[in-house]
């Protein structure tokens, strides 16, 4: 009887409005507070520049750059300060004696003992071998070999919402997936759809900003954006925003592309038995007729 009265209906509507307002206020400022939280009223700690967003969206997918399953050899190694060289005569009977391990000093030189200092920064290994022979200038010096034993100068960077941001030494085989895992993986606040890879460019030149579709890389094995890392690359992981979680809108170009499952023929003959004609590229999938029977 009371529920039909106008006063009761107005009180109920007011109570619903208060509850809705309290819920919104809790989501925006209370339940998961703190800068960078996806439900915080504050701006995320790490967020993309508008120009970076525009370049990310404009980049083609896949881009014509090396990636997983299509890696390329790195360009000839250029020595820089921080590297350590091993300089030795190729002939073990050579009368020339110079210090073996040669750290490249901040001024770009190495110490060849009585033969003086040699500028090596900015040169390749082949160039340094020729320069050492010219510096020694001995008729019976023979050929010198130079090896890079410590490669400290070539690094990449992982920045933003990862557990261990920093600079990591480049071996030449890493992809974006390797880089993020080396940095401890993504934090709970990390955006999965707005990760970018940007490459260093000159002050007045164009910029290279590539999208990284994290979910497609780790859940679907899509290598389109799992780029091969190069020296100086920056992987930037921004924080999720409230609207990114609320709207559930694809942020990455890969998210709007159709994904098709590869045909994987079922294996037969039991676990560990290779059947002629069966695919060796996919996991073993027991068919219902070959599945082991349950024990009673």
Q: What are the structural domain ranges in the chain?
A: 50-72+154-256, 84-150
CA distance 133 to 117: 13
Average pLDDT (12-20) is 57
CA distance 243 to 272: 49
DSSP letters spanning 94-116: -S----SEEEPPTTSEEE-GGG-
Average pLDDT (116-131) is 95
Q: What is the reported pLDDT for 29?
A: 41
Class of domain 84-150: alpha beta
Tens digit of each residue's pLDDT (9 = 90 or more) over 27-81: 444 444 444 444 444 455 888 899 998 998 888 888 999 999 999 999 999 999 9
Helix (H, G, I), strand (E, B) or coil at 46: coil
Distances (CA, A) of 234 to 19, 133, 190: 45, 38, 16
CA distance 182 to 156: 11
Question: What's the half-sphere exposure (Cβ side, CA atoms, 13 Å) at 268?
Answer: 5
Contacts with 253 (C-beta within 8 Å, 6 or more apart), sequence order? 57, 59, 61, 211, 213
With a cut of 50, say whether residue 284 has pLDDT above it.
Answer: no
Structure-derived torsion over alpha carbons of residues 155, 156, 161, 163, reported in degrees to the nearest 10: -40
Distances (CA, A) of 269 to 129, 184, 237, 281, 283: 59, 41, 46, 17, 14
Average pLDDT (206-212) is 94
Contacts with 58 (C-beta within 8 Å, 6 or more apart), sequence order? none
Tens digit of each residue's pLDDT (9 = 90 or more) over 244-270: 666 665 566 665 567 788 888 887 655
- Quick one: fold of 50-72+154-256? Outer membrane lipoprotein wza fold like (3.10.560)
| Of 228, 227, 225, nearest in space to 213 by CA | 225
Query: Which residue(s) pair with 119 in the sheet?
Result: 109
Check: CB of residue 201 under 8 Å from CB of residue 207.
yes
Q: What is the reported pLDDT for 24?
A: 53
Check: CB of residue 67 under 8 Å from CB of residue 175.
yes
* Six-digit token string for 67: 């990636």
Distances (CA, A) of 53 to 11, 62, 164, 253, 254: 47, 17, 24, 12, 15
């Amino acid at each position: 009887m009371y529920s039909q009265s106008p006063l009761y209906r107005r009180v109920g509507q007011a109570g619903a409005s208060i509850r809705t307002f309290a819920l919104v206020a809790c989501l925006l400022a209370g339940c998961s507070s703190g800068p960078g939280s996806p439900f915080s009223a504050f701006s995320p700690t790490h967020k993309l520049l508008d120009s970076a967003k525009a370049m990310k969206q404009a980049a083609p997918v896949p881009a014509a750059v090396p990636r997983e399953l299509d890696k390329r050899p790195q360009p000839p190694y250029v020595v820089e300060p921080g590297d350590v060289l091993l300089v030795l005569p190729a002939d073990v009977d050579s009368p020339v004696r110079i210090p073996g391990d040669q750290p490249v000093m901040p001024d770009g030189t190495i110490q060849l003992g009585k033969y003086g200092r040699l500028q090596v920064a900015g040169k390749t290994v082949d160039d340094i071998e020729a320069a050492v022979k010219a510096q020694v200038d001995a008729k019976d010096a023979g050929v010198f070999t130079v090896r890079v034993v410590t490669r400290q100068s070539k690094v990449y960077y992982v920045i933003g919402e990862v557990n261990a941001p920093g600079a990591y030494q480049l071996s030449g085989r890493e992809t974006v997936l390797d880089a993020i895992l080396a940095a401890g993986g993504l934090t709970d606040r990390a955006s999965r759809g707005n990760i970018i890879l940007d490459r260093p460019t000159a002050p007045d030149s164009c910029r290279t900003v590539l999208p990284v579709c994290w979910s497609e890389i780790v859940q679907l094995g899509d290598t389109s954006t799992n780029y091969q890392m190069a020296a100086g690359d920056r992987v930037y992981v921004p924080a999720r925003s409230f609207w990114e979680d609320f709207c559930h809108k694809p942020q990455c170009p890969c998210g709007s592309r159709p994904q098709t499952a590869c045909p994987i023929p079922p294996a037969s003959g039991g676990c560990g038995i290779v059947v002629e004609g069966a695919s060796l590229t996919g996991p073993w999938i027991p068919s219902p007729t070959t599945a082991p029977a349950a024990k009673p």
